[in-house]
Amino acid sequence: MRSLEIVEAGIQATVQDYPGRRGMQAQGFFPAGPMDHLAHRAANLLVGNPFSAATLEITLGNFRARLDAEATIAVCGAEAQVTVDGTDVAVWESHEVPAGAELAIGIAPEAGFRFYLAVDGGFDVPLLFGSRATYTMGALGGLDGRPLQEGDRLPLGEPGASGRRGLAPGVRPEYSREWDVRVVRGPQAAPDFMTEADLETLFGRAWPVDPNSNRTGIRLESHKFEWARRSGGIAGGHPSNILDNSYPVGAINVNGDLPVILGPDGPTAGGFVVAATVTHADFWKIGQFRPVGDTVRFREVSLEQAVEADRALDESLTDASVEAAA
């Protein structure tokens, strides 16, 4: 069986698949899966894999790995210097690499924070509760439920497509240091929990991303909202407190004064209001936030617009969007 050996893992590299481990939220498991589902899916498309095939999610870069057999690979995500045996190769394109080749990903210097490495056939770690996604909070999935380390050897699935391919113009998204993210308000917004002015603040300003951010959540910056209630009553004295309930992935959860966007490894439930929820179509962006210096603005859309945005993104990621590379 073909395999890939980790030579250098960088700050965090994990095996992820899409849509992750669903059906277990009632037991306290968020789905895990790629923090940027767009780059994960694009990388799989380029090497001829289904979206469900496992990729490696690589944080910031500084990553090296060796393939013990011929393979087709693609790296999608941040712009960075990517080399195969020392020769530059383009990101967001697939490449055929020979047996024994060493792949290296440098540090993302500008916008973007994560990379997805797809190999034809996918990474063939065991399925656990229907998914290969690493969920470090639960210490399961991926390789022994943990981030990858130097010397780890990951088995690859049956060889699939080969050839150099790229994406049609417009498919690769533009990255930024000032992100614009579409959200749907609620489940707990105005008028019951927050004031309309609070939502104008939430949607009207640029929020800095806190360095204490990771796959469980993106912390923003504390802000004294007005709140529609004076107190959380029996749920706790602060007006952000509610009787504990389950959260959607992408919830903008206001913990006291601090808004946090819940990530794919985030808490599944708790007792704080969720002012708005990030659309699936834009959820991928939070995976590319750099935890120092990036800002995010939230733009409110309707439920119908959110579904349309999801549909448009899905339709941009089909075999029709793959073409032979120049």
Partner 1 sequence: MTTTVSPVIAQQPGQDGKPGITYRQAGERAVLVEYGEMEFDLALNFLVLAAKDALDEQPPTGLIETAPGFRSMLVSYDPFALSSTVLLDHLQSVHDALDPDRGITIPSRVVHLPIAFDDSETRAAVERYIHSIRADAPNAEGGTNIDYVVRYNGLRDREELYETALATEHWTGFIGFFPGLPFMFPLDPRDAIFVPKYNPTRTWTPEGAVGIGGPCYAIYPVESAGGYQLIGRSLPIYDVRARNEVFRENPLLLRAGDRVKFHRVTEEELLQQFEQVHADTYRYRIEDATFDVGAFLEWTATVADEAEERRRRREEAASSTPVP
User: For residues 1 and 312, which CB has a smaller minimum distance to partner 1 in the complex?
Assistant: 312
Verify binding: residue 318, partner 1, rule CB under 8 A.
no
Verify binding: residue 316, partner 1, rule CB under 8 A.
no
Least Cβ distance, residue 18 to partner 1 (angstroms): 14
Pairing of strands 295-300, 153-155: unpaired
Binding partner 1 (rule: CB under 8 A), the pick from 206, 211, 245, 315 is 245
Binding partner 1 (rule: CB under 8 A), the pick from 6, 105, 251, 322 is 251
Verify binding: residue 301, partner 1, rule CB under 8 A.
yes
* C-alpha dihedral, 88 to 90 to 94 to 97, nearest 10°: 0
- Of 95, 76, 98, the C-alpha closest to 165 is 95
Binding partner 1 (rule: CB under 8 A), the pick from 130, 149, 150, 311 is 311
Least Cβ distance, residue 292 to partner 1 (angstroms): 17
Phi, psi of 124 (to 5 degrees): -100, 55
**Do the beta carbons of residue 74 and residue 94 sit within 8 Å?**
yes
Residues 6 or more apart whose CB falls under 8 angstroms from that of 27 comprise none
If binding means CB under 8 A, how many residues of this protein chain bind partner 1? 74
Verify binding: residue 247, partner 1, rule CB under 8 A.
yes
Measured between alpha carbons, how far is 219 from 297 in angstroms, rounded to an integer? 14
Least Cβ distance, residue 251 to partner 1 (angstroms): 8
- Of 322, 49, 2, the C-alpha closest to 164 is 322
Q: How many CB atoms lie within 10 A of CB 170?
A: 9
Residues 84-123 that bind partner 1 (CB under 8 A): none
Residues 178-217 that bind partner 1 (CB under 8 A): 184-192, 203, 212, 216-217
User: For residues 26 and 320, which CB has a smaller minimum distance to partner 1 in the complex?
Assistant: 26
DSSP string, 243-305: EEEE--TTEEEEETTEEEEE-TTS-SEEEE-EEEEE-HHHHGGGGG--TTT-EEEEEE--HHH
Residues 6 or more apart whose CB falls under 8 angstroms from that of 183 comprise 203, 252, 276, 277, 278, 279, 282, 298, 299, 300, 301
Q: Is the N-terminal amide bond of 187 cis, ω within 30° of 0?
A: yes
Binding partner 1 (rule: CB under 8 A), the pick from 151, 234, 319, 326 is 234
Least Cβ distance, residue 31 to partner 1 (angstroms): 9
Binding partner 1 (rule: CB under 8 A), the pick from 106, 270, 291, 325 is 270
Binding partner 1 (rule: CB under 8 A), the pick from 147, 250, 263, 287 is 250
Q: In the stretch 17-56, what mask flags binding to partner 1 with x, by CB under 8 A?
A: -----xxxxxxxx---------------------------
- Choices 43-51, 56-64, 65-73, 294-302 (CB under 8 A): range interacting with partner 1: 294-302
Pairing of strands 153-155, 165-167: unpaired
Binding partner 1 (rule: CB under 8 A), the pick from 150, 303, 312, 318 is 303
User: For residues 4 and 274, which CB has a smaller minimum distance to partner 1 in the complex?
Assistant: 274
Residues 138-157 that bind partner 1 (CB under 8 A): 138-140, 145
Binding partner 1 (rule: CB under 8 A), the pick from 150, 158, 178, 244 is 244
